[in-house]
Every structure is written in C-alpha cells, then in structure tokens.
Amino acid sequence: MTPEQVSLVQASFSKVVPIAGTAADLFYDRLFEIAPEVKPLFKGDLTEQKKKLIAMLATVVNGLDKLDTILPAASRLAKNHVTYGVQAKDYQPVGAALLWTLEKGLGEAWTKDVADAWVQAYTTLSGYMISEAYPKTVAAE
C-alpha cells in the first residue's frame, strides 16, 4: 500500500467510528445476505462479535502504516478462524460485505480513491491471513 492509500483508509475509517454499531449491523446483515452459508459459523448473539469486528478493524487500520506490527496478530486471528470452520473462500464475501458497509456508511466520502485504498488494504491483509491459515491451499494455487 502507498502512504496515500494508508492515509485514505485511516481518514475514512475515522468517519465510520462514530457509527460503529450501525456499521457492524450493516456488515453482518450484508454478509449473511450474500453468503448465508457462513451464518452457522456464528453462534448465538452477535453483540460481542460486532464489538470484536470494530475493534479488530481499528487495530488493523491504525497499524497499516507499520504493517509488520499487526501481522503476527493477523496470523493468530487467521489460524483461530480455521478452528471455527472458516475456509479460505469465506474471505471473499467478508471483503465484499466490508466494502459494501463502508460505501453505505461513508456515503459521498466513498470515492474511487477511497474504495481502491480499502480494496488494497483488504486484499493485502486477507491474502496474508489466507497464506498463514491455509498454506497448503495457497501453495496449490
């Protein structure tokens, strides 16, 4: 990611923080709409999960300019997700739901440059997480 992309992601996320609860609701509603097969991976009330999502996003966004500091946590998170039944293919609808949520939450502030920066951020991080959690799958591709 370029420094400009990092700045765009960080600045745009700061606009989402005040509506974090709504954003989390939008995200999970959209995720379950476009990928209903992942819904059984989430047990019970999603209140805590929604808080974890926003906290994780904040950590990642704030660490984008020092990626090496967040990669160990991303690796652990990815490996933990495997134990919950998450598959490599599940990262695609998660990314789609995240981008959709950001577009809805940011409104006119969701520009092509902001969208491109978020796509780059998600692609970078999800690619790393997939390679950490599913090394044999990535090696086979």
- Count Cα atoms within 13 angstroms, Cβ side, for 93: 16
Q: What is the CATH number of the domain that holds 63?
A: 1.10.490.10
- What domain count does the chain have? 1
User: What's the average model confidence in pLDDT over 104-133?
Assistant: 96
| % residues pLDDT > 90 (the chain) | 87
Average pLDDT, the chain: 93
pLDDT digits (tens, 9 = 90+) for 32-91: 999 999 999 988 889 999 999 999 999 999 999 998 999 999 999 999 999 999 999 999
Q: What is the domain extent for residue 14? A: 3-140
∠116-122-123 over CA atoms, to 5°?
Answer: 85
Which amino acid, 110?
A: W
| % residues pLDDT > 70 (the chain) | 96
Reported pTM: 0.90
User: What's the average model confidence in pLDDT over 111-138?
Assistant: 91
